[in-house]
Amino acid sequence: MAESVQPPGPDKRIRPFSVKRQTGFTTVAIICFVALYAPILTLVVFSFNAGESIANWGGFSWRWYEAAWANEQVKEVSVRSLVIASCASAIATGLATMAALGTTRTRPYRGLTAVFVVINQPLMVPEIVSAVALLIFFAMIKIATGYTGLGYLIAAHTAFCIPFAYLPIRARLESMDLTLETAAADLYATPWKAFRRVTLPLLWPGILAGAMLAFVISLDDVVITEFVKSAGQDTLPTYMLGQLRRNVTPEMNAISTAFLALSIGLVTIFFFLSRRRK
């Protein structure tokens, strides 16, 4: 007697969970994007406003960009901001690279977790606390030495930029295969030569990401800069804050848009450099 053939039943395979298939996901995503980018788009649009108001459109004009370019004080604080951010990001990235190597390319030892916590402490401490602590610490040094230059701002920015540079560098190191470094050591390469010829080229995207992040964080810092700076050491963010307290003009929109363009340019350069490196 022939066996009866059962019709195929419904497919009972369980689909993997995906947040995209949840009810309302698209609506929530659109609301989030609008909340994030609508204010920025408004800022950019009104930076080209011909009128004096920051809320009423008076026609298209480059007036406020020309005013910002002709403002010598804006140029001075912009150059100062770039100098501080460049120095702080370079120093912080170098220190963060050494710290990442010391916490990943070594055997686990007692206190490794504590070292990780100490390196990332600036991320967990409120920025106002760090600002007050740096103010008191640097005030004692200023009294003892009489030095009041930009070194304090560079040191302060370096201190709180280290964890921002450290995290992407450490993440890159943890994702790297040790096979090539081990092979270099087997071929009698010294630790420095193995690092320079093998580890560093593979680590370069992480270093670029850390340096870019540290640069942007330093460039737009207000709280710590406001507490640490001496007279006549305004950066662009603190200058803009001071101007907003007096008189809000579309010139601030133009400066902010230029700031935004610089940030986008840095991200774009990093993207192409990391892509080329890969």
The pLDDT value given to residue 3 = 54
pLDDT confidence bin for 107, thresholds 50/70/90: confident
List, in order, residues 6 or more apart from 221 with CB less than 8 Å away: 157, 160, 235, 237
- Residue 49, beta-bridge partner list: 60
Could you give all domains of the chain from N- to C-terminal order, each with its CATH number? 24-61 (no CATH), 73-277 (1.10.3720.10)
* pLDDT of 111 higher than 90: no
Alpha-carbon Rg for the chain, nearest whole angstrom, is 26
| Rounded CA separation 211/205 (Å) | 10
Three state DSSP letters for 32-49: HHHHHHHHHHHHHHHCCE
The per-residue pLDDT for 1 is 47
Question: CB neighbours (10 Å) of residue 271?
Answer: 11
Q: What is the mean pLDDT of the chain?
A: 83
The Cα–Cα gap between 51 and 208 comes to 41
